[in-house]
Amino acid sequence: MTEHRRFSDSRLVVASHNLGKVREIGELLAQFSIDVVSAGDLDLPEPEETGLTFEANAELKALAAATTANLPALADDSGLSVVALNGDPGIYSARWGGPGKDFNLAMKRAHEKLSSLDSTDRSAEFVCVLTLAWPDGHVETFRGTVQGDIVWPPKGDRGFGYDPIFQAKGMQRTFAEIDPAEKHAMSHRADAFNQLVDACFG
Residues serving a catalytic function are 77
Burial of 52 per CB tally in 10 Å (0-12, 13-18, 19+)? exposed
DSSP alpha helix (H) spans, 36-164:
54-69, 103-115
Give phi and psi for 47, each to the nearest 5.
-70, 150
CB 58 within 8 A of CB 77: yes
Dihedral class, residue 168 (left if φ above 0, else alpha if ψ from -120 to 50, else beta): beta
Contact between 177 and 128 under an 8 Å Cβ cutoff? The reply is: no
The DSSP code for 201 is I
CA distance 35 to 163: 28
DSSP secondary-structure letter at 199?
I
- Sequence-separated (6 or more) residues with CB below 8 Å from residue 126: 78, 79, 80, 81, 145, 146, 148, 162, 166, 175, 187, 188
